[in-house]
């Protein structure tokens, strides 16, 4: 079974190679998690918490969040609730939720909501592996504006896209708009269009076996910042404080495992 093929630019993973890589990464991530668990002691704190999350957090981080909280806070009961940003902000104000894990870069500038960044994920250009812009590190929005664009529609991403394109005086040529990240991946891999998404959600393959490349841009595109939020005047319970501490540790693990602070290949 061939794991990679040789070509003029070097080596390229086959579909079987991608599968092997995923299994290897899973093993290494499990080892990382085991090491982190030995470093941090299990908390004896007790209580219950309602934690609000947005759909982006739910899709990409909820399993990790639940695993970390169950491991480090076994005596705390957690109820995660998925809502949109406005509902979460209102729920924090009414104390319907103790904490929220959200894209803090999307929060309204309300003084009564405290926010804390946990990780920063840069947005980059995604293309098919054989796209002419693949591998470039200085792609401009002007260049991207000439290409078919696939737009992800979740967690206020459309509004974010509109802001930075408008600031540049440009408009993307949207050929398809989808709430499915897997649909976006597949369309990009099949050269239907390009997109701009964050490193947090990047994966170099689609479910149908296509390959995706991400490239740095010279354009001023905002990062996707994920973090904690809670009512500024709220007095956090011991369980909420312990939860926040566990999530800070989890964020460092995600940063290390995902290479969010490194350069895109």
| 8 A C-beta contact, residue 123 and residue 224 | yes
Cβ neighbours, 10 Å, residue 157 = 20
> Where do the domains of the chain lie?
43-120+224-258, 123-215
- What architecture is domain 123-215? 3-Layer(aba) Sandwich (3.40)
Pairing state between β 99-103 and 76-82: unpaired
Specify the pTM: 0.79
Is 29 exposed, middle or buried (CB count within 10 Å of its CB: 0-12, 13-18, 19+)? middle
At residue 24, the pLDDT reads 55
Residues making up the chain, counted from first to last:
265
The class level of CATH for 43-120+224-258 reads alpha beta
CA distance 184 to 190: 10
Diameter over CA atoms, the chain: 60
Is 20 exposed, middle or buried (CB count within 10 Å of its CB: 0-12, 13-18, 19+)? middle
Three-state secondary-structure class, residue 174: strand
The sign of the dihedral angle between the CA atoms of 58, 59, 63, 65 is negative
Cβ neighbours for 81, distance < 8 A, ≥ 6 positions apart: 50, 51, 52, 53, 91, 97
**Segment (H or E) for 60:** helix 55-60
CA distance 122 to 263: 10
Q: Tabulate helix, strand, coil % of the chain (nearest 5).
A: 40, 30, 35
CA distance 58 to 153: 15
Same fold, 43-120+224-258 and 123-215: yes
Q: Please give the distance of CA 100 from its chain centroid, rounded to a whole number.
A: 16
**Angle (CA) 80 83 89, round 5°:** 100
At residue 12, the pLDDT reads 60
**Residue 106 is encoded by which pair of tokens?**
């999307």
Per-residue pLDDT of the chain (265 residues; tens, 9 = 90+): 676 666 554 556 666 666 666 555 555 555 455 445 444 578 899 999 999 999 999 988 999 999 999 999 999 999 999 999 999 999 999 999 999 999 998 999 999 999 999 999 999 999 999 999 998 889 999 999 999 999 999 989 999 999 999 999 999 999 999 999 999 999 999 999 999 999 989 999 898 889 999 999 998 899 999 999 999 999 999 999 999 999 999 998 887 776 554 333 3
CA distance 83 to 155: 10
């Amino acid at each position: 079974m061939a794991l990679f093929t040789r070509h003029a630019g070097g080596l390229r993973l086959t579909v079987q190679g991608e599968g092997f890589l995923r299994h290897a990464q899973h093993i290494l991530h499990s080892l990382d998690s085991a090491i982190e668990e030995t470093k941090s002691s299990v908390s004896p704190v007790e209580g219950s918490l309602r934690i609000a999350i947005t759909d982006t957090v739910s899709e990409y981080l909820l399993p990790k969040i639940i695993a970390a909280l169950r491991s480090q806070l076994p005596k705390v009961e957690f109820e995660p609730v998925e809502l949109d940003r406005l509902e979460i902000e209102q729920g924090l104000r009414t104390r319907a939720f103790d904490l929220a894990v959200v894209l803090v870069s999307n929060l309204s500038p309300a003084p009564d909501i405290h926010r804390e960044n946990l990780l920063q994920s840069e947005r980059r250009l995604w293309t098919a592996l054989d796209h002419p812009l693949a591998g470039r590190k200085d792609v401009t929005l002007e260049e991207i504006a000439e290409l078919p664009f696939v737009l992800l529609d979740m967690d206020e991403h459309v509004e974010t896209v509109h802001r930075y394109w408008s600031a540049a005086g440009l408009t993307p040529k949207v050929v398809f708009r989808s709430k499915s990240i897997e649909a976006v991946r597949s369309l990009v891999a099949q050269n239907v269009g390009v997109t701009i998404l964050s490193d947090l959600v990047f994966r170099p393959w689609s479910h149908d076996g296509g390959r995706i490349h991400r490239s740095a841009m010279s354009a001023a595109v905002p990062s996707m910042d994920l973090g904690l939020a809670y009512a500024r005047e709220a007095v956090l319970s011991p369980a909420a404080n312990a939860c926040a501490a566990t999530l800070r540790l989890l964020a460092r693990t995600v940063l290390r495992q995902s290479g969010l602070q490194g350069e895109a290949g």
